[in-house]
Amino acid sequence: MCFQLKNKKMKANKLTPNFEVKSIRETIEFYQNVLGFSLVMVVPETQDGIEQSLTGGKNYVYALVSKDNIEMMFQRTDSFKQDVLLAKDISMGASVSFYMEIDGIDDFYKQIKDKGLNPTELKTAWYGMREFYLKDNNGYILGFAEKSE
């Protein structure tokens, strides 16, 4: 079945992926400590407000992090499955990579390797990008690339 939507009134403003995760706290720590993202907000398990930092001993169901022009949302599995009904019977994970164009890929690659993580080899792809891939703490594939000179 093939069809085409011609909705000229719909305007796409931005794309912010929402990742299903096991632990909000562990995921935030990975994205802050390994990738340099900043926490924008978290929602506690009680869902009675929005907080700007993690509090010891508290459990969370949602978080938003950012770095430069990139934002990512994380939602704990139970909350994600409740909100995104199409994911109800699907196991966590995806056959997709989240590809980020960055500056300073050589230094960043060295930092990732120095932290004991296992990125793919840093190489120049046939389309002219120097890139490597890395799995985050939940198994999602993150791609990092910079235009080659």
Instruction: Give the domain ranges of the chain.
Output: 15-86, 96-149
Q: Give the pLDDT band (50/70/90) at residue 3.
A: low
Provide mean pLDDT across the span 126-141.
93
Q: Give the pLDDT band (50/70/90) at residue 5.
A: low
What percentage of the chain reaches a pLDDT higher than 90?
A: 73
Distance of alpha carbon 74 from alpha carbon 18, whole angstroms: 6
Residues 96-149, CATH architecture: 2-Layer Sandwich (3.30)
Residues 15-86, CATH architecture: 2-Layer Sandwich (3.30)
96-149 shares the fold of 15-86: yes
- Whole-structure pTM value: 0.84
User: pLDDT digit string (tens) for 43-92?
Assistant: 999 999 999 999 988 999 999 999 999 999 999 999 999 888 888 888 87
Residue 94's pLDDT is: 72
Residue 117's pLDDT is: 93
What percentage of the chain reaches a pLDDT higher than 70?
A: 94
Residue 83's pLDDT is: 87
Distance of alpha carbon 31 from alpha carbon 72, whole angstroms: 10
pLDDT at residue 1 above 60? no
